[in-house]
C-alpha cells in the first residue's frame, strides 16, 4: 500500500512568534505552493497552530475544498528559553547530540518524537495523501528520523517554503525534496 506525505516548511513570515503572519512575498509563495501541490491528490492537511504555517496552506485547502486541521505537536521547537549569541552552534550540536537540552528548551529527540507521532497517526488514516506543514527545525528533525544523514547542514539549506515528499511503500520509505522554484 502506498502512502504519501508532503512535509512542508511554511512560507516567508514577518517573524518567529506564533502569531507572525506571512509577508506579501509569503502570500505569493503560498499561492505557488498551492499550484505545486494541487495535482497530487492531497486529501488531508495538518498544520502547526502557528499563523504562518496555517496561512501557507490556506490557498491549497481552499482549492481542494478541505479544512486545515491544526496539531500543536507541529509547533516550532524551542531550542532555549532565552536568546543565545551562539544559537547556531548550539543548534548544530543538537543535530549530533539528540539529547542536548538547553535551559527551557526541548531536545531534538523530544521534538522528533512529537513530530513522528503526528506522522504515525497520519499513516493510520484511510487517506493516502496528506500534507503536513511545520517549521524548519522540526521539519529537519522529522526528515532526520527517516534519513539519519540529514543534519544541521541540511537544515541550513531549507528554504521558505520547502517541500519534501515522503512515500511509504511495502514497509520502506522514499524521501525526496521537491523542486519548488
pLDDT of residue 180: 63
- Dihedral of CA atoms 146, 149, 150, 151 in degrees, nearest 10, equals 130
Confidence of residue 181 (pLDDT cuts 50, 70, 90): low
Q: Coil, strand or helix: which one is 54?
A: helix
Best CA proximity match to 132, nearest among 29, 24, 35, 48: 48
What is the value of pTM for the model shown? Answer: 0.95
Bridge partners (DSSP) of residue 70 are 47
Q: Measured on CA atoms in the order 26, 49, 115, 31, is the torsion positive or negative?
A: negative
The total domain count for the chain is 1
pLDDT tens for 2-24 read 899 999 999 999 999 999 999 99
Q: What are phi and psi of 45, to 5 degrees?
A: -125, 125
Best CA proximity match to 163, nearest among 122, 127, 137, 134: 134
Cα 126 to Cα 123: distance, rounded to the nearest angstrom: 8
pLDDT of residue 119: 96
18-40 average pLDDT score:
97
pLDDT tens for 78-125 read 999 998 999 999 999 999 999 999 999 999 999 999 999 999 999 999
Cα 3 to Cα 118: distance, rounded to the nearest angstrom: 14
- Dihedral of CA atoms 57, 6, 75, 147 in degrees, nearest 10, equals -160
CATH code of 48's domain: 3.40.50.1240
Greater pLDDT, 181 or 8: 8
Best CA proximity match to 138, nearest among 158, 168, 121: 158
Q: What contacts 34, CB < 8 A, 6 or more positions away?
A: 59, 60, 63
Domain that holds residue 73: 2-177
Amino acid at each position: 500500500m502506498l502512502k504519501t506525505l508532503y512535509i512542508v516548511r511554511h512560507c516567508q513570515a514577518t517573524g518567529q512568534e506564533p502569531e507572525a503572519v506571512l509577508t506579501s512575498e509569503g502570500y505569493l509563495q503560498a499561492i505557488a505552493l498551492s499550484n505545486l501541490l494541487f495535482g497530487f491528490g492531497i486529501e488531508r492537511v495538518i498544520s502547526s497552530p502557528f499563523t504562518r504555517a496555517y496561512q501557507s496552506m490556506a490557498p491549497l485547502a481552499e482549492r481542494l475544498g478541505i479544512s486545515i486541521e491544526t496539531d500543536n505537536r507541529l509547533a516550532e521547537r524551542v531550542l532555549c528559553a532565552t536568546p543565545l549569541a551562539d544559537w547556531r552552534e548550539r543548534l548544530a550540536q543538537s543535530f549530533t547530540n539528540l539529547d542536548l537540552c538547553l535551559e527551557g528548551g526541548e531536545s531534538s529527540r523530544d521534538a522528533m518524537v512529537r513530530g513522528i507521532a503526528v506522522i504515525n497517526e497520519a499513516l493510520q488514516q484511510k487517506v493516502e495523501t496528506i500534507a503536513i506543514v511545520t517549521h524548519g527545525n522540526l521539519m529537519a528533525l522529522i526528515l532526520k528520523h527517516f534519513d539519519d544523514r540529514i543534519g544541521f547542514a541540511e537544515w541550513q539549506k531549507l528554504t521558505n517554503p520547502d517541500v519534501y515528499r515522503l512515500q511509504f511503500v511495502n514497509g520502506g520509505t522514499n524521501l525526496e525534496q521537491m523542486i519548488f522554484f
